[in-house]
Amino acid sequence: MENVIDVIDAVPAEPWQIRETAPLGPRAFLHETLFALGNGYIGLRGTHEEGGAAGLEGSYLNGFYENEAIHYPENAYGLARTNEFMLNVPNAKCIALTVEGERFVFDAGKLLAYERSLDFRKGVLERTVEWESPQGHRVRIDSRRLVCFGRKHVAAIEYRVTALNFAGRVEIASRIDSEVTNLQAGDDPRVGSAVTGPALSTLSREADGEGELLLQRTRNSGFLLATGMRHVCATASAGRGAVHAFGASLREGEALTLHKFIAYVSSRDVAEDEVPRLAREEMARAAQDGFAHLVAEQGVYLDRFWREADVQIEGDDALQQGVRFNQYHLLQSVGRDGRTNIAAKGVTGEGYEGHYFWDTEIYVFPFFLFSRPEIARALLQYRYNGLPKARERARQMSHATGALYPWRTIAGEECSAYYPAGTAQYHINADVAYSIRLYLLATGDFDFIAQYGAEIVMETARIWTGIGSYDREGRFCINEVTGPDEYTALVNNNYYTNAMARMHMRFAADMAERLRAERPADFARVAGAIGLEDGEIAAWRSASAAMRLPYDEALGIHEQDDSFLSKKPWDFAGTPKDKYPLLLHYHPLVIYRHQVCKQADVVLALLLLSDEFSLDDKRRDFDFYERVTTHDSSLSSCIFSMVANEVGYADKAYHYFMETARLDLDNTHANTEYGVHTAAMAGTWLGVAYGFAGMRLTGSGLRFAPALPGKWTSYRFQVHVQGALLAVSVDAAGVHYKLADGESLAFTHHGTAVQLTRANPDIRLEAA
């Protein structure tokens, strides 16, 4: 496997950071993504303050969007009407440096030294440059940038210029670039949006000696956006319009330092009239606290994160780097205010337009649930807040009752213009219900269920009785849907969908009955709010009991849907490597007619609904579907790794895990320049916990079945579960379970019951 950062920049893989030693070159566009900073709200691509982006100058705000009508030259009833897309907002990072009248740019003069690094414990992007101007003036530029984890609206830059071999004039000019536009997608649906031109119109630009506040409005979605900058510098600013310049005559060895505090606030966050005030306040507070204070705060925040979330793998530095890089980017990308979520590409790029998918519930959610449960809860809160829109969508789709979540969205609107691989993925409803069930199993927080969860689960369960029907043999069938595998569309009885719908309806019935018994007032409120009718709970039970789950007796496998096995097998031997991903080279119909999968589908059901299958079933299903899966989706390999572990295919488990763990760092899907792959990043964490450590949390309890991959010396991770914090360490000598926090915890280890308590907080056992 090629290791981009190592090979290209000759930097050995370092377990806690990424580093580059050249600013430009063929990897620059990719590195803009890898070095992106974020705090779950603001996202700044890793472009340079001085500009000259190799690929895309991008600044984003999670959940801040523009919308526009989707035009279908050939229309049909009920198609998604409005696209929401994450906007590229003004670039507030801009800084220009002039040395004795000569402008610093990377491709003029001489670059004497360059290094840039992002340390996952510091959360600060640090860059050192030594440059000699065409006339021979040498400067060192030390810049540091951070997006504050603890201050949603704030980012900051320190920019220090030292005169190395001369005495003379140095000028640092700072501004906000408001003329930004989004990237256009072209033919690749994974790249950007279909929009053209600027989406923000400027209302005002207020500048004073300290900085500037830019107010803009989105043309269609109507949001107000404030972008502000405020400076702290030893010399006063000589403002020229929108540019704030700070100059000094330096002696040799002297430095000029500028601190730039940036704020973004929008009317999606607070009321309109609060927007400018909050932006000013946040900048003033940051400036007063000072840059060093922000750096220290960042360290404290990350310290806590790593103390609980760190996954340690000994024996492979490149892998360790990949695992931490992924965890770090997830933390940078995830919305935590209950009104935002995590986009497929986080806040690092415009791929998939900043949309949220099922990626959240099935991939990202468990990572946060077991590492930072309060963030997981905020993600569920987001779905609760999306219920009104999901109800509207259900009505558009002719469901008289219930709620249907959008396949892809930002603020709750269905944004999927291609319904066969979009709206048809009704499994999104069951995926959300699955995550609520997992939340309950992991936290026991029934208050949340009573207040929010039950309403979501029950409203969304109704869609199954709405679209399903009984066939002549009395089996409950769900027709004309698309499962997770997007290379097979609009089928009857997709196994994954049906099995998840069964879980969903059972869970809805259980929740309803428990609520009625334990909290009758809450039950009455929820039932009243959704207009639950007599007989609905029983209907969920009957439909689950009669659910059609396709199984092929001859092959002894679960069929992906009613038609999958009768399709023509894809000619893998005759498909050259450059024809992958297939979606870029074949019409969808050609793909749909064949036995070929983009990603785990039945195999995902084996993982999520683990207790419903025998080990032999799992092995046969794995063998069959592995042969027909391209893994063209970055969501696939990690699932195959976890199931391979379970069925005893250690080499395959390792291979698929490695495909996932450095997917972005090594750009193996060749599109990381448009943003990181958050689902695969979370799949890496799952690959360790669910995969190598064999963790499952199901209705029958918590279990582990750890194994140590041959190439590793040891690995260690922690999980928050049932009020405890459990540390799991695996090495050649065996497994060490330790209750790091909490009163007690019960689980099984390869089938043997274990009980940890404060009095007996740890135990050593043999690995497999």
Place of tokens 């949001």: 223
3-state class (DSSP) for residue 18: strand
Of 612, 622, 659, 625, the C-alpha closest to 643 is 622
Nearer to ligand BGC, 322 or 484 (CB): 484
> Based on CB atoms, which residue is closest to ligand BGC, 456 or 635?
635
Minimum CB–partner distance for residue 402 and ligand BGC (Å):
22
The one-letter code for the residue type at 284 is: A
Q: Find the shortest distance in angstroms from Cβ 680 to ligand BGC.
A: 9
Token digits for 407? 């396949």
Q: How far is the CB of 351 from ligand BGC (least distance, A)?
A: 9
Residue type, 15: P
The answer to whether 342 touches 379, Cβ cutoff 8 Å, is yes
* Order of strands across the sheet that contains 168-174: 102-103, 95-99, 168-174, 243-250, 238-240
> What span, in angstroms and rounded, lies between the C-alpha atoms of 393 and 400?
11
Residues found near ligand BGC in the complex (CB under 6 A): 344, 352, 357-359, 484, 486, 598-599, 633, 635, 679
In a 3-state reduction of DSSP, which class is residue 367? Answer: helix
**Contacts for 422 with CB less than 8 Å, ≥ 6 apart:** 80, 407, 408, 414, 416
Q: Is 5 helix (H, G, I), strand (E, B) or coil?
A: helix
Rounded CA separation 542/544 (Å): 5
CA distances from 468 to 404, 455, 461, 498 (A): 14, 21, 11, 10
Quick count: other Cβ atoms within 10 Å of Cβ 98?
17
Cβ-based nearer residue to ligand BGC, 331 or 676: 676
> What CA–CA distance (Å, rounded) separates 540 from 501?
10
What is d(CA 241, CA 671) in angstroms, rounded to the nearest whole number? 39
CB 421 → ligand BGC: shortest distance, Å?
Answer: 7
CB 46 to ligand BGC: min, Å: 21
Of residues 454 and 604, the one with the C-beta less far from ligand BGC: 604
Q: Cβ closer to ligand BGC: 162 or 633?
A: 633
Closer to ligand BGC at the Cβ: 343 or 653? 343
Strand pairing report for 696-698 and 701-704: antiparallel
Query: What's the farthest any 2 CA atoms get from each other in the chain?
Result: 91
> What is the token pair recorded at 519?
């909290």
Q: End-to-end alpha-carbon separation of the chain, Å?
A: 28
Give the C-alpha separation, 120 to 303, whole Å. 10
The amino acid that residue 560 corresponds to is Q
Query: Which CB atom, from 6 or from 486, has the smaller least distance to ligand BGC?
Result: 486
Q: Which of 353, 486, 536, 659 is catalytic?
A: 486
Query: To the nearest whole angstrom, how small is the minimum distance from the Cβ of residue 684 to ligand BGC?
Result: 15
DSSP symbols for 21-74: S-SSSTTHHHHHHHT-EESSSEEE-S--TT---SS---EEETT-EEEEEPP-SS
**Tokens read off for 539:** 């209907």
Least distance in angstroms from the C-beta of 599 to ligand BGC: 6
Nearer to ligand BGC, 352 or 426 (CB): 352
Are the C-beta atoms of 468 and 544 separated by less than 8 Å? no
Nearer to ligand BGC, 246 or 352 (CB): 352
Which residues does 513 contact at the CB level (< 8 Å), separation at least 6?
A: 537
Which DSSP string do the residues of 72-128 spell out, in sequence order? -SS--TT---EEEEE----BTT-EEEEETTEE--TTSSEEEEEEEEEETTTTEEEEE
Q: CA–CA distance from 176 to each of 153, 287, 617, 724 (Å)?
A: 16, 17, 59, 47
Segments in 334-386 forming alpha helices (H): 359, 365-371, 373-385
Nearer to ligand BGC, 33 or 117 (CB): 33
Strand boundaries in 237-316, DSSP class E: 238-240, 243-250, 255-266, 312-314
Tell me if residue 486 is catalytic.
yes
Structure tokens at 362: 């099935």
Question: Contact at 8 Å (CB) between 685 and 367?
Answer: yes
Q: How far is the CB of 484 from ligand BGC (least distance, A)?
A: 6
Nearer to ligand BGC, 117 or 599 (CB): 599
- Specify the residue, 43 or 109, whose C-beta has the smaller distance to ligand BGC: 43
Any residues with CB less than 8 A from the CB of 454 and at least 6 apart, and which? 511, 512, 515, 522, 523, 526
Residue 506: CB minimum distance to ligand BGC, A: 25
Give 297 or 359: the residue with its C-beta nearer to ligand BGC. Answer: 359
Minimum CB–partner distance for residue 253 and ligand BGC (Å): 51
Q: How far is the CB of 68 from ligand BGC (least distance, A)?
A: 21
Q: How far is the CB of 582 from ligand BGC (least distance, A)?
A: 12
Least Cβ distance, residue 633 to ligand BGC (angstroms): 4
Known catalytic residues are 486
